[in-house]
C-alpha cells in the first residue's frame, strides 16, 4: 500500500526528555522517518519505531568562530519533502516549540506547497520552561506584570533592534540565542539606567548539566566568562531573577567583591 506523504512538526521541549508531550510521543511512534535537531535529547528518539530512519539535521556551527552550519534551512526544507515522498510519515523533531524562533512555520509552508499533508504538535518552549525549572517565575504579583520573549540574533547575525525597545520596559525579558551579543545587551541596559538589574544566564536548561549564572547586568559578562558558560543558553533579565533561591548567596559574594547588591524582592 502506497504511503501518503505527510509531515508532523513536533516540539521536543527544552531538553529533558520527560518534558515531551504525550501527543508528540504518539506521533513519533508512527514515524517512518525522523529528522531531528541538535538540541533534541537522544532518549526521545527511542519512541520512534526501530524501522524508522533517523536523520540528524542540526544547525550547530561546524567551524569554531565561523558562521557555517551543518545544515542550511533550505536543505532541511527539501529533505523533509524528499523523505515524505520516499518514506511516508516524516516527523520533524525540533527543540522547544517549533513556532517560537524555531523556523517551524517556514518548514510547514514549504511542505504544504510541495503537496505534503501537515500537522503540528507544540512543545514546551525554553523561554518559559527553563526559567521555571530553575526557580525563576517570569511574572510575579508585585514584581513583574508581563514578559517579553526576544531573539538575540537576527537572520543577518545582528543584535535584534527590538532589544533596545524592550530594555525601556519594566517587563521581564527573556532573550534566546543572545549569548554572542551579551555585552551589547548589557550595554543597552546600562544606557537605560539598568546596570544593577538582576540577570540570569541558564545553560543547558532542564538537563542534568544545567548551569545558572546570577549577577547584576554590569557583572554578568564577567560571571559568564568566569564560569565558561556558552550556548545553548537563555538570558533572563528583570527583578524576578532576584527570586531565584541562590540570589541571596550571590549577594553575599557580591558584598565580598564590591559588586552591586540587590535586595531580594520577595
Domains of the chain in start order, with CATH, are: 6-121 (3.40.1010.10), 126-254 (3.30.950.10)
Confidence of residue 17 (pLDDT cuts 50, 70, 90): very high
Q: 115 with 5: CB under 8 angstroms? A: yes
Q: Average pLDDT, whole number, for the chain?
A: 91
Q: What is the pLDDT of residues 96-123, one digit of tens each?
A: 999 999 999 999 999 999 999 999 999 9
pLDDT at 227 over 80: yes
What is the pLDDT at residue 63? 38
Q: SS3 of 169, please?
A: coil
Spatial CB neighbours of 258, under 8 Å, sequence gap ≥ 6: none
Listed in sequence order, the residues at least 6 apart from 113 whose beta carbon sits closer than 8 Å to its beta carbon are: none
Active-site residues, by number, are 37, 59, 177
Confidence of residue 2 (pLDDT cuts 50, 70, 90): confident
Q: What is the DSSP letter of 122?
A: -
pLDDT of 256 above 60: no
**Main-chain phi, psi angles of 113, to 5 degrees:** -65, -25
Specify whether the backbone of 124 is left (phi greater than 0), alpha (psi in -120 to 50) or beta.
beta
Q: How far apart are CA 95 and CA 76, in angstroms?
A: 15
Predicted local confidence at residue 61, as pLDDT: 53
d(CA 188, CA 14): 28
The whole-model pTM stands at: 0.88
What's the pLDDT tens digit per position in 118-169? 999 999 999 999 999 999 999 999 999 999 999 999 988 899 999 999 999 9
Task: Check: CB of residue 17 under 8 Å from CB of residue 25.
Answer: no
pLDDT band at residue 49 under the 50/70/90 scheme = very high
Q: Where are the beta strands (DSSP E) in 57-101?
A: 89-94
pLDDT grade for 251, boundaries at 50, 70 and 90: low
User: Cβ distance 147 to 172 under 8 Å?
Assistant: yes
Amino acid at each position: 500500500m502506497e504511503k501518503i506523504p505527510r509531515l508532523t512538526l513536533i516540539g521536543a521541549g527544552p531538553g529533558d526528555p520527560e518534558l515531551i508531550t504525550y501527543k508528540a510521543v504518539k506521533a513519533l511512534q508512527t514515524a517512518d522517518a525522523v529528522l531531528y535537531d541538535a538540541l533534541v535529547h537522544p532518549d526521545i528518539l527511542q519512541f520512534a519505531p526501530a524501522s524508522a530512519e533517523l536523520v540528524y539535521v542540526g544547525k550547530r556551527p561546524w567551524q569554531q568562530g565561523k558562521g557555517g552550519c551543518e545544515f542550511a534551512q533550505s536543505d532541511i526544507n527539501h529533505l523533509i519533502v524528499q523523505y515524505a515522498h520516499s518514506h511516508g510519515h516524516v516527523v520533524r523533531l525540533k527543540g522547544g516549540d517549533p513556532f517560537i524562533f524555531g523556523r517551524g512555520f517556514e518548514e510547514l509552508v514549504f511542505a504544504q506547497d510541495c503537496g505534503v499533508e501537515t500537522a503540528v504538535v507544540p512543545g514546551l518552549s525554553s523561554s518559559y520552561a527553563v526559567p521555571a525549572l530553575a526557580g525563576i517565575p517570569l511574572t510575579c504579583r508585585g514584581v513583574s506584570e508581563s514578559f517579553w520573549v526576544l531573539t538575540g540574533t537576527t537572520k543577518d547575525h545582528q543584535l535584534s533592534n527590538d532589544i533596545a525597545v524592550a530594555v525601556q520596559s519594566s517587563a521581564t525579558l527573556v532573550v534566546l540565542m543572545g549569548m554572542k551579543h551579551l555585552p551589547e545587551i548589557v550595554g543597552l541596559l546600562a544606557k537605560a539606567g539598568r546596570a544593577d538589574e538582576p540577570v540570569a544566564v541558564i545553560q543547558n536548561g532542564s538537563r542534568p548539566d544545567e548551569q545558572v549564572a546570577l549577577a547584576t547586568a554590569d557583572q554578568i559578562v564577567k560571571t559568564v566568562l568566569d564560569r565558561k558558560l556558552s550556548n545553548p543558553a537563555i538570558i533572563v533579565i528583570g527583578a524576578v531573577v532576584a527570586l531565584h533561591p541562590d540570589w541571596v548567596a550571590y549577594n553575599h559574594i557580591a558584598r565580598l567583591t564590591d559588586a552591586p547588591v540587590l535586595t531580594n524582592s520577595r
